[in-house]
A and B are shown apart, each in its own frame.
Chain A
């Protein structure tokens, strides 16, 4: 078992969070599959250095990169958390969480605010690394490899594990450049390659038909639902094996929500989604995990969680009787 004591940032030998980018900026960088947290220069530098060397030997950019193939070949749980405890300073945010996520399934994390579900989600691509006072023990494996081990590389982890956030946050750039942002930073340069990659990513995010004639327009001119699908396409452009989604439709109207949910159901990807919308969890996920006060109370097939949960706390939460 790998255990980190003391701030994770220190353990990773990274720059302190004080000089780090804003939360939104960190999210944006993470969306592009890159390093987040410490000084922007460090993040960009780390990304460029990794790109130059080819992170873990990958080809830069593209939806069909070797990492995806490597992840797909892995037969165990795509994500495996073993006895994970996590602290924000003195606050014990996650308590002995063990959870195995199957590949190519949608896993929903539910629970009341402050229960630890978003903390757990962010641990899966090391977004909590630079939170001051943060401390982790236990082990988290992605595709069979420990992501907090001494040899782990945050950049390649974030390329393997993409993220989409609550509010659509496209960069103030064209639709085309939004999609190319990550691949360019990881070394993709040829226009023809990028054209192919943009189309594939936008098609995968069910957005191509909406935007194919206006790729040069600013992504900020799109509707909220389209912006969120740009963000999904931007994450997909790096061929993630896993996509983390933190309340991805809470800022969207029902029509846009339906489109994103349809995409989630149809995506042949391992997806972990945090949602406060019980019906959404029931609609889109294969497995559901219920967190409460830092504990994983119950984890099982979504159909069972929503028809006959084993734990009274789960029943009380999903039926709205909590507290």
Chain B
């Protein structure tokens, strides 16, 4: 592979990651909207799109491995290709979490249709959806723009979403303790909160990869 071709392939790989990022961002946004509005159709749409994200992960990983094997990259190229393998996996897991959020919407709708006792959706859940979206959007912007400063801003945001998760968990456990018939509903809400908390973790992981590519600093597991 000539250097010109290699540079084009790297650019194409970056575009594939950007495109995959756009797709999972849209999945999470739709999943959040479906959750908050109880929109079952929208939730099903999100679940359907997960297969495409899985296929994209495989394509990106194959492409990155081929470029590593055939070009023996070093320095910034090597960091980008090594990070691409992890970024593709992170994005695929974000897609999974989008689909899982959508499944919680379907679960809550099913409980409602069965006439189960439901509690009131905690307001903090909507704020968690918002925080997760902001983190994910900023992490993807940081990647698209190769902006380590934006990525560093993402790292400081994860605590907020973790606090929301702890708060919701305590709230729901208290409600279920008082009223055992809320258990199924409470489980769906707690799982939803955990999915959102995990989204925050994956947005953090994306940001850490952006910093590694930009600066060569490994900041993983520091946050």
A interface, CB within 8 angstroms of B? 278-279, 282, 306-309, 314-315, 318-321
Q: Is B162 an interface residue (CB 8 A)?
A: no
Set of chain A residues within 8 Å of B74, measured between Cβ atoms? 278, 282, 306-307, 318-319
Q: Other than A315-B75, A318-B74, A319-B73, give 19 A-B pairs with Cβ distance below 8 A.
A: A278-B72, A278-B74, A279-B72, A282-B74, A306-B78, A307-B75, A307-B78, A307-B79, A307-B216, A308-B75, A309-B75, A314-B75, A318-B75, A319-B75, A319-B76, A319-B77, A320-B3, A321-B3, A321-B7
Whole-angstrom distance between the alpha carbons of A270 and B74 in the complex? 25
- Asked if A306 and B75 make an inter-chain contact with CB atoms under 8 angstroms apart, the answer reads yes
From A278, A314, A318, name the one whose CB has the most chain B CB atoms within 10 angstroms: A318
The smallest C-beta distance from B212 to any residue of chain A, in angstroms, reads: 9
**Residues of chain B from 1 to 33 with CB closer than 8 A to chain A in the complex:** 3, 6-7
CA of A187 to CA of B76, assembled, Å: 54
Write the chain A residue with the least CB distance to B78: A307
In this complex, the member of B6, B7, B73, B74 whose beta carbon has the largest number of chain A beta carbons within 10 angstroms is: B74
The residue among A282, A314, A319 with the most chain B CB atoms within 10 A of its own CB is A319
Contacts of A320 in B (CB 8 A): 3, 6
- Chain B residues 61-89 with CB under 8 Å of chain A are 72-79
Closest to B75 in A: A315
Contact between A308 and B72 (Cβ–Cβ < 8 Å)? no
Q: Which residues of B contact A309 (CB under 8 A)?
A: 75
Cα of A65 to Cα of B76 in the assembled complex, Å: 46
For B79, what are the chain A residues with a Cβ–Cβ distance below 8 Å?
307-308
Sample (11) of A-B pairs whose CB atoms are under 8 Å apart: A279-B72, A282-B74, A306-B78, A307-B79, A307-B216, A308-B215, A314-B75, A319-B73, A319-B75, A321-B3, A321-B7
A318 to B78, CA, bound (A): 11
* Cα distance A290–B187 in the bound complex, in angstroms: 60
**Chain A residues within 8 Å of B6, by CB:** 320
- Alpha-carbon gap, A307 to B215, bound state (A): 10
CB-defined contacts of B75 to chain A, threshold 8 Å: 306-309, 314-315, 318-319
Contact A315:B3 (CB < 8 A) given known A307-B216, A308-B216 = no
Give Cα A150–Cα B6 distance, bound, in whole angstroms: 53
Q: A307-B216, A320-B3, A321-B7 are in contact. Are A315 and B76 (CB under 8 A)?
A: yes
With the chains together, A321 CA to B6 CA distance in Å? 10
Chain B positions 30 through 60: 1 when the CB is less than 8 Å from some CB of chain A, otherwise 0: 0000000000000000000000000000000
Nearest CB of A to B78, in Å? 6
User: How distant is the Cα of A75 from the Cα of B76 in the complex, in angstroms?
Assistant: 36
CA distance A279 to B79 in the complex (A): 16
Please, how many angstroms separate the alpha-carbon atoms of A308 and B75 in the complex? 5
Q: How far is the CA of A309 from the CA of B74 in the complex (A)?
A: 10
Within 8 A of A (CB), among B165-223: 215-216
Q: How far is the CA of A282 from the CA of B78 in the complex (A)?
A: 13
Report the bound CA distance from A56 to B149 in whole Å: 60
Q: Could you tell me the distance between the alpha carbons of A278 and B74 in the complex, rounded to whole angstroms?
A: 9
Chain B residues positioned under 8 Å from A315 (CB to CB): 75-76
Min CB distance A151 to B, Å, is 43
CA distance A109 to B41 in the complex (A): 63
A116 to chain B, nearest CB (A): 22
CA distance A309 to B75 in the complex (A): 7
B62 CB to closest chain A CB (Å) equals 22
Residue of A nearest to B74 (CB): A306
Cα-based distance from A308 to B74 in the complex (angstroms): 9
A224 to B100, CA, bound (A): 62
Give bound CA distance, A318 to B77, whole Å. Answer: 10
CB-CB nearest in chain A for B212: A308
Inside 8 A of B7's CB, which chain A residues have their CB?
321
Query: Which of B73, B75, B79, B216 is most buried by chain A, counting CB atoms within 10 A of its CB?
Result: B75
Going nearest first, the 9 A-B pairs with the smallest beta carbon separation are: A308-B216, A306-B74, A320-B3, A315-B75, A318-B74, A319-B77, A279-B72, A319-B75, A309-B75
Chain B nearest CB from A262 CB (Å) reads 19
* A321 and B78 alpha carbons, distance in the complex (Å): 14
Q: Which residue of A lies closest to B71 (CB)?
A: A320
Residues of A within 8 A of B78 (CB): 306-307
CB-CB under 8 A from A321, the residues of chain B are 3, 7
Across-interface contacts of B72 in A (CB, < 8 A): 278-279
Interface residues of B in 94-116 (CB under 8 A from A): none
A276–B174 CA distance with the chains assembled, in angstroms: 69
- Residues on B with C-beta less than 8 A from A319 are 73-77
Q: State the Cβ distance, A316 to closest chain B Cβ, in Å.
A: 9
For A279, list chain B residues within 8 Å (CB).
72
User: Inside 8 A of B215's CB, which chain A residues have their CB?
Assistant: 308
Q: Separation in Å of the B216 CB from the closest CB of chain A? A: 3
Q: Say how far A145's CB is from chain B's closest CB, in angstroms.
A: 36
* Cβ–Cβ < 8 Å partners of B216 in chain A: 307-308
The docked-state distance in angstroms from the alpha carbon of A314 to that of B76 is 11
A322 to B, closest residue via Cβ: B3
